[in-house]
Amino acid sequence: MITEPVQVDKISGQTTTGHEWDGIRELNTPLPRWWLWLFYLTIVFAVVYWIVYPAWPLASSYTTGLFGYTNRGRVADDVAAGQAARMQLAAGLETATLAEIAADPKLTEIALAQGKAAFGDNCTPCHGSGGQGQKGYPNLTAGRWLWGGTLDQIDATITHGIRSDDPDAHTSAMPSFGKDGILKAEEIREVASYVRTLDGLEPEQGVDVAAGKKIFADNCAVCHGDDGKGKLELGSANLTTKVWQYGNGIDDLIYTISNARNSVMPAWGKRLDPVTIKSLAVYVHSLGGGT
């Protein structure tokens, strides 16, 4: 039995562990037996845990445990429960019109929360996380709308898209004045300079802005209006604001006039349910630009 002699400390009468540091020996204070049993209990617990829960990796799979518990399944359950709770909250949105939602603070709160989430999932890549847009993608916060900024107009735009494959999509086409040879390069430079003045920007040195104005009246005013403020029914841009979708530098404008942009937005009515689109409309409208 005796594996190693153990010392007894003369002062306390206690045995020591045999460990010594600079002449000081550690007394052996035995742990109570129940402590040891607790340790054995944790081992038993571990074994039970292996049996009940997924535990051991096998060659191509793993031990699944008695009840087939998986973390992934748990997440799926949580998501489903979340969706169910959300559907219950959003039930009121189904029948309410956009105007009714806007008038009811409770419905607005739910619509904003849902819209924010849906916007993050679907719209952010183009329009930016705060709807601020980026070059080529409209700023939704500025109050400058191509196809209208009322709740119903926003809802229609989201549902049917722009130049999408939806038959009800907003559609219009600006000619490529340069590429198609409608205007000469010099004329395009002149009209671009004139367009810059509409927004209060300095025209290019040595360019005949008066000529540009005439070219504008002859070619552009039919869609953008005599005052350059654009027309909602045509989705033509308002050229008199500080906000520009494709930039207001002279080179940007020359490129836009020469080649036209005619960007596309998908019809979300095919991908999202009506309640989500309603929520998106309320959210986009709330970003500051809604009219």
Partner 1 sequence: MTISTEEVYDDGPLYEAAKKVIPQKIWGTYRRIKWIVLWIALGVYYVLPFIRWNRGPNAPSQAVLIDIPHSRFYAFFIELWPQEVYYFTGLLILAALILFLSNALFGRVWCGYACPQTVWTDLFFWVERFIEGDRRDRMKLDAAPWTPDKVLRRVAKHAAWLVFALLTGGAAMLYFVDAPTLIREFVTFQAPFVAYLWAGILTLTTYSLAGHLREQVCLYMCPWPRIQAALTDNDALNVTYRFDRGEPRMSLKDAAKAHAHGEAAGDCIDCLQCIAVCPTGVDIRKGSQLGCIQCGLCIDACDAVMTKVHRPTRLIAYDTDENRERRKRGEANVYRLIRPRTILYVAVIALTGGVMLYALLTRTNSHLSVLHVRAPLFTQTAQGGIRNGYTLRFSNKLSEAEDFTLDVSGLKGAAMTSAMAKPLDGGRLTVRVDPDSTLEVPVYVTTPPDVTPARSSPLTFTATDAKTGERSVVVDNFFGP
| Binding-site member from 89, 96, 112, 182 for partner 1 (CB under 8 A) | 112
How far, in Å, are 10, 174, 196, 213, 255 from residue 220 at the CA level? 108, 9, 14, 10, 15
| Residue 5 in the binding site for partner 1 (CB under 8 A) | yes
| Residue 2 in the binding site for partner 1 (CB under 8 A) | yes
| Residue 142 in the binding site for partner 1 (CB under 8 A) | yes
| Binding-site member from 11, 22, 35, 181 for partner 1 (CB under 8 A) | 35
| Binding-site member from 28, 197, 258, 259 for partner 1 (CB under 8 A) | 28
Closest to partner 1 by CB, 5 or 181: 5
Give CA angle at 157 (134, 146), nearest 5°: 55
Q: Are 90 and 247 in contact (CB under 8 A)?
A: no
| Residue 7 in the binding site for partner 1 (CB under 8 A) | yes
| Residue 207 in the binding site for partner 1 (CB under 8 A) | no
Q: Are 231 and 240 in contact (CB under 8 A)?
A: no
Give CA angle at 269 (127, 151), nearest 5°: 65
Closest to partner 1 by CB, 32 or 68: 32
| Binding-site member from 242, 261, 270, 271 for partner 1 (CB under 8 A) | 242
Eight-class DSSP state of 27: E
| Residue 70 in the binding site for partner 1 (CB under 8 A) | no
Segment interacting with partner 1 (CB under 8 A) among 40-48, 78-86, 255-263, 283-291: 283-291
CB of 216 to partner 1, least distance (A): 20
Residue 131 CB coordination number (10 Å):
20
- For 35, the token pair is 């402590």
- For 34, the token pair is 């129940």
Q: Is 173 left (phi over 0), alpha (psi -120 to 50) or beta?
A: beta
Closest to partner 1 by CB, 6 or 84: 6
Q: Is 14 left (phi over 0), alpha (psi -120 to 50) or beta?
A: beta
| Residue 144 in the binding site for partner 1 (CB under 8 A) | yes
| Residue 32 in the binding site for partner 1 (CB under 8 A) | yes
Dihedral sign, CA of 8, 12, 14, 15? negative
Give the DSSP letter string of 131-145: S--BTTB--SSSS--
| Binding-site member from 65, 243, 255, 258 for partner 1 (CB under 8 A) | 243
CB of 284 to partner 1, least distance (A): 11
Q: Which residues are CB-contacts of 157 (< 8 A; sequence separation ≥ 6)?
A: 147, 148, 170, 265
| Residue 68 in the binding site for partner 1 (CB under 8 A) | no
Closest to partner 1 by CB, 76 or 99: 99
What is the total count of residues that contact partner 1 (CB under 8 A)?
46
For β-strands 24-27 and 16-21, DSSP reports them as antiparallel
Segment interacting with partner 1 (CB under 8 A) among 32-40, 51-59, 165-173, 180-188: 32-40
Q: Which residue has the tokens 């070219």?
A: 215
**Interface with partner 1 by CB under 8 A: which residues?**
1-3, 5-8, 10, 15-18, 20, 28, 30-36, 102, 105, 108-109, 112, 128-130, 132, 139, 141-144, 238, 241-243, 282, 285-290
